[in-house]
Chain A
């Protein structure tokens, strides 16, 4: 069965600090997709990144970066020089490649990130 674990329930840092959100996943599939979503107070989930299981190259987008390691089944998310606007709940999610599980996202419990000025 698929499972996503975000062990950090809440993180609070001071603005400009770097912060890493952890995500560990379980799946028996060899092909799968990993996602990160941001949920601001408005409630709408905002897509941040998608990774397939064959692409372990790390990605950087501005202040955001993602570290995907199949060997440890982890897909961690780092925010560099955090800003108050980064405050939100962040979700890591997993999707099977195809078949009955297609388009079914399995989410972690989320990490509530608070950036204090």
Chain B
């Protein structure tokens, strides 16, 4: 079974631009979560989608947004990029038997490393 895939793997942008990152979950997984990893703040939860609905959002500004498609693939978008947005963005998928029940193992992709110049 293929794992979680993320594209692109590396991205270089300049301040003020916007960026879209893509995540394809493991087949059959309906929950997709996004995390930002930086040396200073560590791993922080961005948001989670289940059945095309955002169910949970972390403490990030509105410049960070996302969506999920009917095939469970997800995209996240960052508008008006700032230098501090440079990070590794990780996507994770999970097979949920109950939409609001946690404890399911999350499978992570390799991440997209975004550099903002």
Question: Please, which residues of chain A bring their CB within 8 A of the CB of B33?
Answer: 103-105
Question: Please, which residues of chain B bring their CB within 8 A of the CB of A44?
Answer: 108-111
Whether the pair A105, B45 counts as a contact (CB closer than 8 A) is: yes
Those of B101-117 within 8 Å (CB) of chain A: 101-111, 113
With an 8 A cutoff between CB atoms, is B74 at the interface? no
With an 8 A cutoff between CB atoms, is B31 at the interface? yes
Question: Please, which residues of chain A bring their CB within 8 A of the CB of B92?
Answer: 45, 105
- Within the complex, the shortest CB–CB distance from A40 to chain B, in Å, comes to 11
Question: Please, which residues of chain A bring their CB within 8 A of the CB of B103?
Answer: 33, 50, 52, 95, 97
Give bound CA distance, A103 to B101, whole Å.
Answer: 8
- Within the complex, the shortest CB–CB distance from B64 to chain A, in Å, comes to 15
Among A15-23, A61-69, A71-79, A106-114, the stretch that binds chain B is: A106-114
Those of B60-117 within 8 Å (CB) of chain A: 88, 90, 92, 94, 96, 98-111, 113
Question: Please, which residues of chain B bring their CB within 8 A of the CB of A100?
Answer: 55-56
- Within the complex, the shortest CB–CB distance from B116 to chain A, in Å, comes to 18
A-B contact count (CB 8 A): 82
Those of B6-49 within 8 Å (CB) of chain A: 31, 33, 35, 42-45, 48
Known: A52-B103, A99-B100. A104 touches B45 (CB 8 A): yes
Question: Please, which residues of chain A bring their CB within 8 A of the CB of B50?
Answer: 103
* Total contacting residues, chain B, CB less than 8 A: 32
Whether the pair A96, B102 counts as a contact (CB closer than 8 A) is: yes
Give bound CA distance, A107 to B36, whole Å.
Answer: 11
Question: Please, which residues of chain B bring their CB within 8 A of the CB of A52?
Answer: 103
Q: Of the candidates B58, B98, B109, which one forms a contact with A104 in the assembled complex, judged by CB atoms under 8 Å apart?
A: B58
Q: C-beta contact mask, A3-44 vs B, less than 8 Å → 1, else 0?
A: 000000000000000000000000000001101010000111
Question: Please, which residues of chain B bring their CB within 8 A of the CB of A33?
Answer: 102-103
With an 8 A cutoff between CB atoms, is A91 at the interface? yes
Whether the pair A97, B110 counts as a contact (CB closer than 8 A) is: no
**Residue of B with least CB distance to A95:** B102
- Within the complex, the shortest CB–CB distance from B92 to chain A, in Å, comes to 8
B residues engaging A (CB < 8 A)?
A: 31, 33, 35, 42-45, 48, 50, 55-56, 58, 88, 90, 92, 94, 96, 98-111, 113
